[in-house]
Amino acid sequence: MLKIIKYELRDVIRSKWILIYFAFLFLITEGMFQFSGSSSKVLLSMINIVLILIPIITISYGIIYMYSSREFTEMLLAQPIKRKTLYTGLYSGLALPLSLAYLGGVGIPFIIHGVDESGQFTVLLILLMSGVALSFVFTSLAVLISLSSDDKVKGLGIGIFVWLFMAVVYDGALLFGSYLLSEYPLEKPMLGMTMLNPIDLARVLLMLKFDMSALMGYTGAVFKKFFGSPYGMLLSSGMLMLWIIVPYLIGKRIFVRKDF
């Protein structure tokens, strides 16, 4: 498995798209430092990068890469390699470079410029961890989607729809539903619905630390009301882990049984 991971890492890291991804994040973060001059403002601005751009870039690249490497995967399947081992190697070799590109692109400018206050270092760590978590979540979804459909265009379309639904439609639908049912107690149902969206979970994780409920959206505000504590941070982190693990395991099950 380690050999597969090493090969995948070399293959993905050498890809110009990973380098472009790294450079894109680096230039955005560095540009924010040049224009704002304040690490606190940069941290706040990077929330939208983490919650919107990281998922769409990760799921799109992951799906395209999985379809492009289909022939190589079929060749490896002809070798005496367990399918579970191969799947883990392919997934790790895809998720790790995307996460490293994110960490480098966002983290290096903060290393160069530093943070204004010691408390912001913790916020920076949570920002980096949230981005890595979303990278793994949407890599899991990308692999699952690519294995579920043999049509590349259809798979990419499904991936974009999943991102659009989670990033834009989901909160809007909840807000509209809460307006229609405003006469009923909706706190607990909204809390449960929040856990069904990894982007909302990452938003909660960030906003609980920033303590700025106005930027959280409706579902995040409900989460903060009940879990504005270390327990809330632990619960949202645990649910993000489930969002990584569950699609990963479903994808593994499909991969093991799939007739290539």
Span 128-155, pLDDT tens digits: 999 999 999 999 999 999 999 888 999 9
- Kindly tell me if the per-residue pLDDT of 214 is higher than 70: no
- Residue 126 is predicted with a pLDDT of 86
- Residue 83 is predicted with a pLDDT of 85
User: pLDDT tier at 105 (50, 70, 90 boundaries)?
Assistant: very high
Q: How far is CA 98 from the centre of its chain?
A: 10
- What are the residue ranges spanned by the domains of the chain? 2-257
Question: Does the model's pTM come out above 0.75?
Answer: yes
User: pLDDT tier at 225 (50, 70, 90 boundaries)?
Assistant: low
Q: Is the Cβ–Cβ distance between 58 and 135 less than 8 Å?
A: yes
Q: How far is CA 55 from the centre of its chain?
A: 5
The set of long-range contacts for 151-160, using a CB threshold of 8 Å and a minimum separation of 24, is 152/63, 152/64, 152/67, 155/63, 155/67, 156/60, 156/63, 156/64, 159/59, 159/60, 159/62, 159/63, 160/56, 160/59, 160/60
Between CA 168 and CA 188 the distance in angstroms is: 22
**Dihedral angle, C-alpha 5, 7, 8, 10, nearest 10 °:** 120
Q: Is the Cβ–Cβ distance between 127 and 206 less than 8 Å?
A: yes
Average pLDDT of span 160-178: 86
pLDDT digits 0-9 by tens, 63-99: 998 998 888 788 877 877 788 888 888 898 889 999 9
